[in-house]
Chains A and B, each alone.
Chain A
Amino acid sequence: MSHRLPPLPGEWIDRSQRIEFTFEGDRLWGYAGDIITSALWASGRRTLGRSFKYHRPRGILSLANHDVNVLVQHGQQLNLRADVTPIAAGMVLSAVNTNGGVRSDRNSVLDFFSPFLPVGFYYKAFHNRRWFPFWERLIRNISGLGAVDVSTPHLRTAKRYDFCQVLVIGAGVAGLAAAIAAAEAGAEVVLVDENPRVGGSGCYQLGADDRQAEQVQALVQAVQGCDRIRVYTSTVAAGYYADHWVPLVEPDRMTKLRAKAVIMANGAYEQPAVFRNNDLPGVMLASAAQRLIYRYAVKPMQRAVVFTANRDGYRAALDLAKHGVEVRAIVELRSHLTASELTQAVTAQGMPIYLGHCLYEAQASPAQDGVAAAVVCPVAANGEPQPQFRQTIACDGIVMSVGWAPAANLLYQAGAKLRFDESLQQFVPDWLPPGIFACGRVNGVYNFQQKLQDGKRAGLAAAAFLGYAVTPTAAHSVWLGDRTESPSHPWPIIEHPAGKNFVDFDEDLQYKDFPNAIQEGFDNIELLKRFTTVGMGPSQGKHANMNALRILAKITGKTPGEVGTTTARPFFHPVPMSHLAGRGFSPERHTPLHERHAALNAKFMLAGMWRRPEYYQRPGKRREECILAEANAVRHGVGLIDVGTLGKLELHGPDAAEFLERVYTGRFRNLKVGMSRYALMLDESGVVIDDGVVARFSPEQFYFTTTTGGATAIYRELSRLNTLWQLDCGLVNLTGAQAAVNLAGPDSRAVLAKLTDLDLSGAAFPYLGVRAANVAGIPARLMRVGFVGEWGYEIHVPAESAPALWDALMAAGADWNITPFGVEAQRLLRLEKGHVIVGQDTDGLTTPREANLTWAIKMEKPFFVGQRSLQAIAQRPLKQILVGFMLDPNYTGYPPQECHLVIDGNDIAGRVTSVAYSPTLSRYIGLAYVKPELAALGTTFSIRLSDRSLVTARVSPTPFYDPDNQRQQETVLTTLQEVSI
């Protein structure tokens, strides 16, 4: 049988479009505009989901985007909220977390075992060390909600930024009024609502009063006609972050909006009454029944009992009756009632009012999937039910309207202070941070006309805050009127000896769980939350926290205000990871020569964000062979490496030399123009953090490099120091703007000579000299460096000229068989030369003394970063020192690897930091930290491999190769060139 009502004005469904879908294997249909829940309810389905712990049947509770007992799986989409997800043709849906389907969930046996499973039961059992893994597997098997499908693709959801002057969150009556008022005062407004249509409760909590609906329509039209208001519907303001930064989560996008002021018109959550079986399908909040009727034209039930303690319950009764529901009783929790037009209207329609009564329990239908009757009884003055006077009223639905809790999550996140208003029985804003405003129900204002006024007031207050001229009296920052409706009952909680009176529907917590937890000592709200898990389910306690708080307050003899609330954290509703991740931002940096490397079959490796050629693949050759060939080319001919990833900084100004003296350990004031010098940087604790080369191009102009990995951090730190010290110099980061290559090998000078007019003789351009000159017509900076241990030039050019430079060098070098080489060959060559790599041969605590870098320290300088620490460290015995080592030339076993330990007896005595087979020396060489006792030249020590075997190494002098720097001498170079020609 269909439960669809005749067409209603303003309904959200389109009856011209029938949409078929499948739920739990059954073919069903609904109309376009239906959500899953409304389509299911219309087709007569009542058990829509199963509860988290006891697997009890559940139906509609709030129908307000937090019916988290009705989560469905649709293919790869899990935990879809059926009360907000529109149906689509061909959907194949199933309820989550059932064992054998929602109708006959085999795990519902847990409901019968519930006496064994009291609050926190899992802390009290299963912890025998031997048996825990067994129980844990069992628990993990039945826990969780929906299932994740590991074949789901990586969704890349769009993100965008937006800005406005006034953001209004919530397009209910107050929010609409606020938006209009702010816009009319001149502000640019964004209005956000999570529903597909605006109007909020103004469109469904009617009390059969059509005039209210007309007023709301007028507001909606005013908003639509105002070009200063932009409206986001189906959009959740998911959180509030500092400085009015609000993520707006739309179905297929996230907009990050920065506002100048925010009006919180988030409304309130209707709160359930706590009574036995209040979770049966067919027991729902009054607002849920009204939404079913006015949005989806679905009849919530045939015969209803309304349990209420406020005016909204009477409105709901009238709405139900108007649409054909027989209201069999209004059970009024309050014992006194002032007659009003609402009570008169329900009485006139013959609905009996049971004054001072409570709903004691709902009786289940024989199939346990719905309501058969409501058992009501009087309530004593102390709030206790008197079941000896109970009456049973047959019905198929129970509607609850006993109170509200403010949707104040975002207000709390914004730093608002709320106080508990006793007469209203609600937390209301007491103090609001600058630029934050609140109106409507979240502000404790429930009367329709007052909501209009409160919205207008907040809108004007926000406009005034932004400097628009408004009448000051109209723009109070808080509501000054009375709050004539007091909709929340202080104790809508009915104890029952048989329990199953649920407080938290997400987590299946019954009333008794709370006194029991409090008895165990969890007697403040934060501890109570953690022990019982109240409010920790997917709805984050939207219809549980207030009742839990009331229970705690009552038992501990405090007021709800004294008990307080738990911290409200983002998100308001859960947000998909795809929306938060967006398209992702993991930039990959390429040097301007990347295409050249790719064309040469480079194998790339990661170096921070950069991709660098590890080596160039030669046809049919193994990795090691390729690397050795590249290294050989540099030693005996000429090689070319892209070093553009180095940090490249320029420093100008009268104090430039002074700045360098302070940040580096060496002397730079006396560095001659046209020369360069190795530079070592420490942190304040004297630890080595970076190194590079400083070149002086004029008295007040230095150009210097940092390590690839350190480039960003060093620039940031130097900028900080420059700001701090106020020296007269300016720092420019040229890392991305400049490209650099190192042309190295005995033939490098001959190659370069073909491309420049610069005098390249050793006398004119000596080792460590720097020059500015044209290379292949490109303005370049040249530095004679020796990192790989051969005659060579680092050539720095503007990034856009780098490919032309590379091509020119490759062409000019063709006669010498110029060979591009990668990072691995460079590592090997520098190791032969005994150069350390900061970060590989040093770690987070390495001092210059340990790394054998004291030669680069000028302690006699008045100051440099780390100097004071070095003085203290000098007083301490040295724990380890970096030494060179060699293996026996005949060693044929597995080579040691970097970070294998040096072992002395049974103790760790150091570690290997670099190791490689040296083609030049025909044996394995490396660098290792060893304790000082093992550091003398010629000492042997043991390195332990991964398979625990030991290899003997001998401490050797470094550099291993060309210890006297002969290769930088012109006479030697000339000889070498003759040989190679």
Chain B
Amino acid sequence: MPLNLLKFALSKAHPEPAMFTPRDRLKPSYDAVIIGAGGHGLAAAYYLARDYGMTNVAVLEKGYLGGGNTGRNTTIIRSNYLTPEGVKFYDESVRLWQDLSQEFDLNLFYSNRGHFTLAHTDASLRTMRWRAEVNKHFGIASELVGPEEIQKACPQMDVSCGGKAPVLGALYHAPGSIARHDAVAWGYGRGADQRGVEIHQQTEVFGIQTKAGKVTGVQTSKGEIATEKVLCAVAGSTPRLLHGLGLRSPLYIHPLQAMVSEPMKPWLDPIIVSGSLHVYVSQTARGELVMGASLDPYELHSTRSTLDFVEGLCAHMLELFPFLSHVKIVRQWAGMADMTPDFAPIMGKTEIEGFYLDAGWGTWGFKATPICGKTMAYTLVHDRNHDLIQDFSLDRFKTFALVGEKGAASVGH
């Protein structure tokens, strides 16, 4: 039994203080305003305070802390991307992830499980080889493995897929991990709060005020505030906020759904992804299987659930794991993925001075939380894009300097 738990048994009153200071009124002005208290917004607030001592900062959240895609994703963390820009960026994120629990003194259940992306066709095998070669070039543990090695790591899997679409190989990424997503938002939120950042939940942003191409303030449901720097980290609501500023983006919103099973005794160690079957699955420390699939095939600004999603995902799950026939699905849910044409994010400065964008995180945002917060904090303080995010700016869609991560998205889109 770890010593940290002793105090709970020994003290009469619950010995834990509030993680977040309750906030009522907004101040008339802040050095910076962050819109969106998801993982990304809170991480940026945390690094602003920790690394640059910038604490006169408000994080505004329409709903509750971590209630958007931070709390809806399937928590997979990996860095086996396809482009050099992507690989370097996500690799730095993985490095930050590994120390976060200790840094926060909050257990994020960052669990290194290993990550297999299965290939069922020779075309996907080619893409896997490409990713493996690019990854290895940058020193990232990533390799193409055959069915025998997959079977060794996951002996329960039917690699023949019932004879339909046999697994020909996989991209194996040893650092692949999962984490407790809500705790990530809480850890960053608490860290920021302790350093003086104000987190205002149930505070909606109606618009951003500008004058002569510069940010001057923010209109909120709790009144107007003055600021010269705004960081926008609102995922599916990005197009609406950009529209108010007269900025155009190529973002389009698709629902992304997921589901979870009843708890069962742990049997699945690695994270398994199959692009051809539109499946990704991992087993949590509680014993639940968390499963996801590809985007819904249409644009929709909604988080409703559909029956055909669970039907399709279960059918594909049983092709890989036929023995799950009796396992029951408890719950399904959905989030809104803000997709970009090249499957890479949009980060950094914009043509409006003092307006910084963190968007386009589609289906790949959770894993980038730490590095995204860190680089956006740098960008906001220096008013200069951090080196790691140079290639992700909004301009690239005008200049056709796209990044090209389509091949590395975990499942087909």
Within 8 A of B (CB), among A555-582: 567, 569-571, 574-578, 580-582
Nearest-Cβ distance from residue A938 to partner chain B, whole angstroms: 26
Asked if A122 and B109 sit within 8 Å, CB to CB, the answer is yes
Nearest-Cβ distance from residue B63 to partner chain A, whole angstroms: 8
Stretch at the interface among A72-80, A163-171, A283-291: A72-80
Stretch at the interface among B48-56, B213-221, B327-335: B327-335
Nearest-Cβ distance from residue B121 to partner chain A, whole angstroms: 5
Nearest-Cβ distance from residue A237 to partner chain B, whole angstroms: 12
Q: Which residue of B lies closest to A530 (CB)?
A: B182
Contact with B along A135-155 (1 / 0, CB 8 A): 110011101111111111111
Tell yes or no: B153 within 8 A of A by CB.
no
Q: Which residue of B lies closest to A579 (CB)?
A: B314
Asked if B407 and A844 sit within 8 Å, CB to CB, the answer is yes
Tell yes or no: B127 within 8 A of A by CB.
yes
Given A127-B101, A127-B102, A581-B314: A79 touches B262 (CB 8 Å cut-off):
yes
Asked if B324 and A520 sit within 8 Å, CB to CB, the answer is no
Asked if B318 and A946 sit within 8 Å, CB to CB, the answer is no
Stretch at the interface among B16-24, B348-356, B360-368: B16-24
Asked if B317 and A577 sit within 8 Å, CB to CB, the answer is yes
Which residues of A have CB within 8 Å of B326?
76-78, 148, 152, 155, 576-578
Tell yes or no: A876 within 8 A of B by CB.
yes
A500→B261 CA distance, assembly (Å): 28
Which residues of B have CB within 8 Å of A520?
14, 16-19
Which residues of A have CB within 8 Å of B8?
115-118, 121
Within 8 A of A (CB), among B360-413: 398-402, 404, 406-407
Tell yes or no: A720 within 8 A of B by CB.
no
Within 8 A of B (CB), among A518-548: 519-524, 526-527, 530-531, 538, 540
Tell yes or no: B322 within 8 A of A by CB.
yes
Sample of 11 more A-B contacts, CB < 8 Å, known A79-B327, A155-B325, A899-B133: A52-B263, A78-B326, A79-B262, A123-B180, A145-B263, A152-B324, A521-B21, A530-B66, A530-B71, A570-B307, A576-B327
A908→B287 CA distance, assembly (Å): 42
Which residues of B have CB within 8 Å of A135?
2
Asked if A125 and B5 sit within 8 Å, CB to CB, the answer is yes
Asked if B400 and A686 sit within 8 Å, CB to CB, the answer is yes
Given A143-B286, A577-B317, A581-B311: A242 touches B304 (CB 8 Å cut-off):
yes
A521→B65 CA distance, assembly (Å): 11
Of A148, A839, A898, A901, the contact of B264 (CB 8 Å cutoff): A148
Which residues of A have CB within 8 Å of B342?
844-845
Asked if A125 and B18 sit within 8 Å, CB to CB, the answer is no
Asked if B126 and A840 sit within 8 Å, CB to CB, the answer is yes
A453→B14 CA distance, assembly (Å): 51
Tell yes or no: A468 within 8 A of B by CB.
no
A540→B333 CA distance, assembly (Å): 14
Asked if A148 and B324 sit within 8 Å, CB to CB, the answer is yes
Which residues of B have CB within 8 Å of A515?
14
Given A79-B262, A577-B314: A569 touches B333 (CB 8 Å cut-off):
yes
Stretch at the interface among A364-372, A444-452, A584-592, A615-623: A584-592
Asked if A577 and B262 sit within 8 Å, CB to CB, the answer is no
Asked if A78 and B264 sit within 8 Å, CB to CB, the answer is yes
Tell yes or no: B305 within 8 A of A by CB.
yes
| B residues apposed to A, CB below 8 Å | 1-2, 4-6, 8-9, 14, 16-22, 63-67, 71, 84, 98-99, 101-102, 105-112, 120-123, 126-127, 129-130, 133-134, 137, 144, 156, 162, 164-165, 180, 182-183, 186, 201-202, 261-267, 285-287, 304-307, 310-312, 314-319, 322-333, 341-343, 398-402, 404, 406-407
Asked if A577 and B19 sit within 8 Å, CB to CB, the answer is no
Contact with B along A599-611 (1 / 0, CB 8 A): 0000001110000
Give 9 pairs: A residue, B residue, CB < 8 Å, sorted on A: A143-B287, A144-B286, A145-B264, A242-B304, A520-B18, A520-B19, A523-B22, A578-B318, A872-B400
Asked if B123 and A839 sit within 8 Å, CB to CB, the answer is yes
Tell yes or no: A459 within 8 A of B by CB.
no
Asked if A127 and B322 sit within 8 Å, CB to CB, the answer is no
Which residues of B have CB within 8 Å of A133?
112
Nearest-Cβ distance from residue B148 to partner chain A, whole angstroms: 17
Asked if B332 and A145 sit within 8 Å, CB to CB, the answer is no
Asked if A531 and B14 sit within 8 Å, CB to CB, the answer is no
Asked if A876 and B262 sit within 8 Å, CB to CB, the answer is no
Asked if A908 and B137 sit within 8 Å, CB to CB, the answer is yes
A413→B329 CA distance, assembly (Å): 17
Which residues of A have CB within 8 Å of B110?
132
A567→B67 CA distance, assembly (Å): 12
Which residues of B have CB within 8 Å of A901?
133-134, 137
Nearest-Cβ distance from residue A530 to partner chain B, whole angstroms: 5
Tell yes or no: A843 within 8 A of B by CB.
yes
